[in-house]
Structure 1
Amino acid sequence: MKKTIIKGVSITAMLAFVTFACNDKFLDVPATGQLAGSQLTSKAGLEGVLLSSYAQLNGRGFSRATSSFNWVRGSVSGGDANKGSNPGDGGGNTNFSTFQRFELLPTNGDVNDKWRGMYEGISRANAVLRILPTAAADVSDADKKRISAEARFLRAHYYFELKRSFNMVPYIDETLDYGQGIELVKNDVDIWPKIEADFKFAQDNLPETQAAAGRANKWAAATYLAKTYLYQKKYTEAKALFDQVIASGVTTNGKKYGLLANYTDIFNAARDNMEESVFAIQAAVNTGDVANSAQELDLNFPYNTGSNGPAGCCGFFAPSFELANSFRVNANGLPLLDGSYNTGANQLKNDQGIESKATFTPDAGPVDPRLDWSIGRRGIPYLDWMVHPGLDWIRDQSYAGPYSPKKFIFYKAQDKTLTDGSSWTDGYSAINYNIIRFADVLLMAAECEIEVGSLETARTYINRVRTRAANQDAWVKTSDGKNAANYVISNYTTAFASKDAARAAVQFERKLELSGEGHRFYDLVRWGNVSTVINAFITYEAQKLPLGYSGAKFTANKDEYMPIPQVQIDYQAGVLKQNPGY
């Protein structure tokens, strides 16, 4: 079986306890849908509650913006893509245009769902830790050690998400019983030390491998702890851990971490839980519940594709002009780090405003091959579906632009087997999302090397990522086996001239390698250049898509974080403090 974690667990059922009104046995009737305490303290019960915390990784039960994928906040706010579709599509909890325009309000439903969804995951992890001291006899000491470590890993993940999304948030652990004073916890203490402590505990107590794919292991915890240090600019501490992971880290099934030979396999459901996966949201289909699938991506397919394309709906998450241009390279196959990719003939030729029935020849200039693994564009094969027809697959080019997402799209050969056809769309797929993958690890490690280590080691790590992209056997091909475009890519063959030059290289490499994977906005915030980069992006994109970007603006010292949801402030009157600027 591809997946071994089953996510459809109701926390309400798992955490409810039976109350007895008298001593007569025949009157002891458990409430429907509830479990007795003895059922929860068994090994099966504890594992069930633990798996319910894993289940929350994809935002189950909340909006699409809740998922730990972060395609809305990380990629749309980061300039990888725009909301897509058309201006009228997506009111209420799918009005993602507020994320691209930086018009979030404390009353935004998606903002509140992100808050609630992360605290739901925390509450489930806390439930495990609260029950564990009373574990039944069938729970061994080794089980207790592993289960507590997994629960603390998951709790740390959800708090990491809250920290980088909202900054100052209340910290609630298993010692606080829900409904008994929890509403009095203020958001006036930095929670980074708590996150560090949980990941460190997980690193020290998790096994190196796990029986079930998808469970956190020692190396996933070490990597996430290093990432936590990186976000705080603790480069020395982060480097030490990244060194260990790169040298010795293994997946849960014992395979040594590495880069897949074929870039597209990272986003192929048939290759899930491979050696590039450090920690992933597990997706499964045809389980009887589409919430177990990659449900948060059901809108992110080319529009109106019919039987010749995937899903048929809904045109969301359209890659930006600026991102597409970024894949332009010079004659030697290196990126244009000076920003000239957005000027003159360097801009990627596209079919904006050109009917599909009209003649169009794709760009003939040199481009990084990852362009056509990452972005669907006219005249280039779209996986195994067909050649992308352009306008016919775009709901509204004047609002969304000419491009379609291409990562996290299922293959035609996988339809109905690695997708769930039981609902309104085949877009519920079994494609995992890698919260951390090995290329990400190499590039984070390169950042640390630049700051406290060796520029040459950083160059080696960056080149490892680029070398994989240079695998010509995996480049997108036409039906006659030729390269679909003028692909040119090379390594950095000379030493970086300075730390600033090295920083520019690794930051741009992250943009290309990880585009559309929910990282970009958070990277810009932690690098400290988010205001400059995003406002330049908006200025450029508004020339192409005035309907989506005219009048938009990123406000420094405000838009780095989302507002604390107003409903949470109202509920906890006088306790929670709103973020600056809202």
Structure 2
Amino acid sequence: MKSIINLGKVCAVALFAGTLMTSCNADFLDRPTVGSVDETTYLNSENGGFKLLINCYQPIVNHWDYQQMKFDMGDQLTDDCTKGGSDAADRVVITEVTRGNPTASSSMLLSLWNHRYQSAISACNVFLSLVTPETQLIKDGGALVTTAEKQRWIAEAKFLRAFYYFDLAMMFANVPIIDKPLNAVDKNTITKSDKEEVRKFILSDLDAAIAEANLPSANAIPASDIGRVSKEAALSFRARVKMFFGDYEGAKADLKLVVDGGQFDLINDYQTLFNSAAEGYMSKEAVFITTRAYIPNYTGGSVVPQMCIGRNTTGGWGGECPTTNLVNEYEVGDPRLTHTVMSSGDIFYKGDGVTTETHDYSGYDNLPQQHNRKFWVDYSRRPTGSLMDTDWSFYHIRYADVLLMYAECLIETGGDKQLAVDLINKVRYRAFVTTSPKDKFAQFRKFNVPDDKKVTEEVFNAKYKVKVSDDLRKAVRHERRVELAGEGLRLYDLLRWGTFVSTMQAFSKTKEGIYSGVGSNVTDKTWPYPIPQAEIDYVGGSLTQNDNYN
């Protein structure tokens, strides 16, 4: 388990140590270590404590093992998207898992495990082991960090540890609980905790973060700090965790606090959510998000648009291909289809707004010949023209998700049905009535809503509004699929609804399923997924495999 064992408490963090070249003289053996600092010296340097906190956020910007992995797991292991790629063998590591009987040697599962423990949870553990309310820390400029600020940082680190742990819980269910930095000698003491213990651990971190009075509400976080954890983000995420483990009553209480707090709202046009940094990613709909920016000679954007946009003239690598099965879920006149799925033959404008680019999704592994529109970046946001050099971002939690979670909790607990319907209809009204029926960045889109199919407010009220007498469970599950498609949440929903097996078995019999093999071997023994054998071997057998893969 190299991913969670560190040789020394702070060696996991590169900030703590450095080396300098020395001359070829045996005297260097007798000299003090040059160019290194111990943890006390580091923490007493200006901004040392805050840099440690930044390390807790940093794993989210990992291209492959966090950002792309979100969609590999959440979309491509389901009926929403296939992996795509140059050919069937491209990223076959995903195919092995999507079929439903991955081996314990799966490199995809190992990458996920390693990243969450080695980069993410490890950074949080280092921070929490070194920073307490009593720790003396220095701000930039020399002033001391206040106790209140340190308490806020601790709450953020606990939230983030829970945030990373939940990915492990969702995939593997039963995982080791590591709550402090470990030394190599500790490796043989690592054992697997069961799903219930993991649930309690995740919620204990979230409870502590939410209870911290110094964790600010969203309206107290300035625009310069967007991306940092707020009280509402923590409440919303705790609700997500509770729902996964079946606690709808507990989740309902958290979501009520967020909704009644009135700090968030839906923006008018669904299209804008995915096509603007200022008006989308940083809007009143973003509950928790990691923003990205391309800064020449300093930082690039995300690999996700490059990976998941079409090959050929479009210049992408052809991943994340929405299925026809997903397309068929949309109702006639729903513009969210336009802004979620793009097709071969669609024509987009280039940077001058006049020249066009015709998308051609033929000749590679893309049976539906479709891609995720939420990943396509308009040329005005590509300063170099490259799909890598953009401000593309994705939402961890947005307000539409909060509304639909709240509605679902009301439905599942026998709560106020009219309120549940109102919440669902708030999301649907934005979709059908105020969202652009056409893609403003394109000359032609297959899924643009034609004028004769555009839904007016009158038509919406007559034909599209959900009613209390409807099958509300079916209604909210449909709404989650079409509202959040291509955002990495489908697997989460299928697993907690208990419909993963039946859904994937049905999908495996479709044309797309037969072609790709997705779901072909899914049974009730597929989940939880196997703990990587390399990790079991590394700790000498103290960590055991999940029973369904023994």
TM-score normalised by length of structure 2: 0.83
Moved more, 237-246 or 489-498: 489-498
Which residue in the other structure is 1:5 paired with?
none
Q: Please give the alpha-carbon distance, in whole angstroms, between the structure 2 residues aligned to 1:67 and 1:129.
A: 25
Which residue in the other structure is 1:548 paired with?
516
Q: Please give the alpha-carbon distance, in whole angstroms, between the structure 2 residues aligned to 1:382 and 1:561.
A: 41
- Which amino acid in structure 2 is aligned with residue 484 of structure 1? N
Which residue in the other structure is 2:547 paired with?
580
Q: Please give the alpha-carbon distance, in whole angstroms, between the structure 2 residues aligned to 1:550 and 1:451.
A: 30
Structure 1 stretches lacking a partner, 5+ long: 1-9, 19-25, 250-255, 330-365
Q: Please give the alpha-carbon distance, in whole angstroms, between the structure 1 residues aligned to 2:356 and 2:327.
A: 18
Q: Please give the alpha-carbon distance, in whole angstroms, between the structure 1 residues aligned to 2:316 and 2:477.
A: 33
Q: Please give the alpha-carbon distance, in whole angstroms, between the structure 2 residues aligned to 1:430 and 1:450.
A: 38
Cα distance, 1:228 vs structure 2: 1.6
Which residue in the other structure is 1:400 paired with?
367
1:233 aligns with 2:246: yes
Which residue in the other structure is 1:84 paired with?
84
- Which amino acid in structure 2 is aligned with residue 462 of structure 1? I
- Which amino acid in structure 1 is aligned with residue 168 of structure 2? L
1:285 aligns with 2:291: no
Cα distance, 1:388 vs structure 2: 7.6
Which residue in the other structure is 1:101 paired with?
99
- Are the aligned partners of 2:188 and 2:540 in contact in 1 as well (CA < 8 Å)? no
Which residue in the other structure is 2:503 paired with?
533
SS at match of 1:539: coil
Structure 2 stretches lacking a partner, 5+ long: 1-10, 20-29, 139-143
Correspondent of 1:507 among 440, 458, 477: 477
Which residue in the other structure is 1:143 paired with?
149
Which residue in the other structure is 2:310 paired with?
302
1:316 aligns with 2:284: no
Q: Structure 2 vs 1, CA of residues 527 and 223 (structure 1 numbering), >3 Å: closer, same or farther?
A: same
Q: What is the RMSD of the two structures over their aligned residues, measured on CA atoms?
A: 3.0
Cα distance, 1:546 vs structure 2: 4.0
- Are the aligned partners of 2:55 and 2:123 in contact in 1 as well (CA < 8 Å)? yes
Q: Please give the alpha-carbon distance, in whole angstroms, between the structure 1 residues aligned to 2:249 and 2:519.
A: 42
**Deviation per residue, 1:268-296 (Å, 9 max, x gap):** 24232211111112322225455x63234
- Are the aligned partners of 1:302 and 1:405 in contact in 2 as well (CA < 8 Å)? no
Matches within 5 A, 1:127-206: 127-133=126-132, 134-136=135-137, 138-174=144-180, 176-189=181-194, 190-205=197-212, 206=215
SS at match of 2:409: helix
Matches within 5 A, 1:341-380: 366-378=332-344, 380=346
- Are the aligned partners of 2:290 and 2:394 in contact in 1 as well (CA < 8 Å)? yes
SS at match of 2:131: helix
- Which amino acid in structure 1 is aligned with residue 166 of structure 2? F
1:52 aligns with 2:19: no
Percent of aligned positions with the same letter in both sequences? 28
- Which amino acid in structure 2 is aligned with residue 530 of structure 1? F
- Are the aligned partners of 2:341 and 2:372 in contact in 1 as well (CA < 8 Å)? yes
Q: Please give the alpha-carbon distance, in whole angstroms, between the structure 2 residues aligned to 1:210 and 1:216.
A: 9
Matches within 5 A, 1:340-489: 366-378=332-344, 380-382=346-348, 389=358, 392-396=360-364, 399-416=366-383, 425-452=386-413, 453-472=415-434, 474-476=436-438, 479=443, 484-486=448-450, 487-488=453-454
- Are the aligned partners of 2:158 and 2:209 in contact in 1 as well (CA < 8 Å)? yes
Aligned length: 498
- Which amino acid in structure 1 is aligned with residue 172 of structure 2? F
Q: Structure 2 vs 1, CA of residues 375 and 101 (structure 1 numbering), >3 Å: closer, same or farther?
A: same
- Are the aligned partners of 2:252 and 2:409 in contact in 1 as well (CA < 8 Å)? yes
Moved more, 237-246 or 206-215: 206-215
Q: Structure 2 vs 1, CA of residues 214 and 552 (structure 1 numbering), >3 Å: closer, same or farther?
A: same
Q: Please give the alpha-carbon distance, in whole angstroms, between the structure 2 residues aligned to 1:49 and 1:553.
A: 44
Cα distance, 1:313 vs structure 2: 1.8
**Deviation per residue, 1:109-144 (Å, 9 max, x gap):** 121110111112111011111111343362210121
**Deviation per residue, 1:452-488 (Å, 9 max, x gap):** 2122111111111111112356221575999933345
- Are the aligned partners of 2:177 and 2:193 in contact in 1 as well (CA < 8 Å)? no
1:31 aligns with 2:39: no
Moved more, 521-530 or 200-209: 200-209
- Are the aligned partners of 1:17 and 1:37 in contact in 2 as well (CA < 8 Å)? no
**Deviation per residue, 1:338-382 (Å, 9 max, x gap):** xxxxxxxxxxxxxxxxxxxxxxxxxxxx34211110000245554
Q: Please give the alpha-carbon distance, in whole angstroms, between the structure 1 residues aligned to 2:163 and 2:468.
A: 34
Q: Please give the alpha-carbon distance, in whole angstroms, between the structure 2 residues aligned to 1:53 and 1:280.
A: 15
SS at match of 1:404: strand
Q: Structure 2 vs 1, CA of residues 526 and 511 (structure 1 numbering), >3 Å: closer, same or farther?
A: same
1:261 aligns with 2:268: yes
Which residue in the other structure is 2:141 paired with?
none
Cα distance, 1:177 vs structure 2: 3.3
Cα distance, 1:15 vs structure 2: 3.8
Which residue in the other structure is 1:207 paired with?
216
SS at match of 1:564: coil
